[in-house]
Copies of this chain bind each other. A is one copy, B any other.
Amino acid sequence: MDKDLKIKFDFNYMMEDFIGEKGIKHQQINEILHKIVKAQENMEIKRKDGKMDFRELPYNQDEVVEEINKFVEDTKGKIENFVVLGIGGSALGPIAVQQAVNHLYYNELTKEKRNGCPKLYVLDNVDPERIVALLDIIDIEKTMFNVVSKSGGTPETMSQFMIIEKMLLDKVGQEKAKELMVFTTDKEKGNLIKISKQKGYKMFIIPEGVGGRFSQLTPVGLLPAAMCGIDIKEMLKGAATMDEMCKAHDIFENPAYMYAILHYIAMTNGANISVMMPYADSLKYMSDWYAQLWAESTGKKYDTEGEVVNRGQTPAKALGVTDQHSQLQLYTEGPFDKIVVLMGVGEYKKTLDIPKVHEDIDSIAFLGGHTQNELISLEQMATEYALLKSGRMNMTITLPKVCEHTVGQLLYLLEVATVFMCELLEVDSFNQPGVEEGKNAMYAMFGKPGYEEKKNELMARPEKMEKYMI
């Protein structure tokens, strides 16, 4: 591995040694060592037992990577747009990686500047205005649609598919539509398999044991990335590099374990919020991706013993330096209820000089002769310092630069950290029983067969009171 590309993790300012009484005492780590050891054992056992399939993704996808890259090569130049129809992890991962690696205004570049790659759109909502608006700006005959759903039953994604497929069939017919539709779905079960077989749509497979929010390093994320010219092999290599680091038995050498341990202790100390605050526009949507991972994995009613615990830590998203003018006031002066995870970049992709102008105005003249690079990095340092001075727990993840390799590392780091956090919290990382109630209510109101009783229950709920409405 290229040592210069290794992500760094600095947790000095989580510790009492630096921030004082609201920090974590070294002793607190020792006090939960039994818990940590058990969690480590569980991680290893589950991996061996094939219950942690996402961890094998850096190694077992040579074939599919080749297939994806060939598919991308074959479509090259034939399409103008690549549209992902997906929701949750299936949408947030592709957006995050695209924003991180590619040009910040990728879709507004000319085709030449995109190296002939298609524009990328991700339709992750069922707002009727969204699809209609998209159709105002794209030519569907030159657009490939990637339907992403493990079960092929996700109503949001499938309703989008039904709308788009009908439009395509009406406009270009089945033969041509075959070239413009690609599915990413489960190998054996589900509707998309069936439809793919009926109609002959191309299909990529999501490995069975990998759930939606851990699927960015499967074809769910790899296909859209490769379509936009991103080197997915390198991304997987980055993930493999991080896997090595995450195997370290010494927790002081293991960034994922330590990240989780600190979050766990901080949480027991009262921090029910974890803020992710990257200092780079390119990493902005990593916070969104991470927020779904952390929230849906840690937020559970029952622990693994079946006890009601209502656990979980709420992720919050911020962006440096922008949110220094928005959230930082609260972070430094508000309640001691959060951890701030700063994310920095060693070397930005561009350098931008601030010219020596307006030298007669002292209060801005000092900026001249520096660079925006210095400004953003020093502002990050200044925020870290302000948090330190106000006794607020904060840690920093630094990417030497933002590229496929480091993004692969980062994704994998946060995935392992999330699962380890769930081990410490003693909750199931991989399920999401809490979304069923809402789903069932929606099915009932929509008249899905089999939900008649649920509908009766809904109709029988107490009427709202006028006095509680304005």
- Contacting residues, chain B, for A88 (C-beta < 8 A): 322, 325-326
A73 proximal to B (CB < 8 A): no
Please tell me if the beta carbons of A335 and B310 are within 8 angstroms of each other in the complex. Answer: yes
Please tell me if the beta carbons of B337 and A272 are within 8 angstroms of each other in the complex. Answer: yes
Q: Which segment of A37-45, A53-61, A171-179, A364-372 sits at the interface?
A: A364-372
Please tell me if the beta carbons of A335 and B312 are within 8 angstroms of each other in the complex. Answer: yes
* CA A179 to CA B296, docked complex, whole Å: 51
Q: Which segment of A64-72, A132-140, A404-412 sits at the interface?
A: A132-140
* CA A376 to CA B207, docked complex, whole Å: 30
A4 proximal to B (CB < 8 A): no
A196 proximal to B (CB < 8 A): no
Please tell me if the beta carbons of B153 and A364 are within 8 angstroms of each other in the complex. Answer: yes
Q: How many copies does the complex hold?
A: 2
- Contacting residues, chain B, for A337 (C-beta < 8 A): 272, 314
- Contacting residues, chain B, for A435 (C-beta < 8 A): 324-325, 328-329, 332, 386
A32 proximal to B (CB < 8 A): no
Which single residue of chain B is at the shortest CB-CB distance from A437? B386
- Contacting residues, chain B, for A153 (C-beta < 8 A): 363-364
- Contacting residues, chain B, for A322 (C-beta < 8 A): 87-88, 91, 124-125
Which single residue of chain B is at the shortest CB-CB distance from A319? B125
Closest 9 CB pairs of A and B: A299-B330, A88-B325, A312-B334, A292-B326, A386-B438, A299-B334, A382-B441, A128-B352, A333-B434
Given contacts A125-B322, A390-B434, 9 further A-B contacts (CB under 8 A): A109-B136, A127-B280, A127-B281, A127-B282, A128-B352, A132-B350, A291-B326, A301-B390, A383-B438
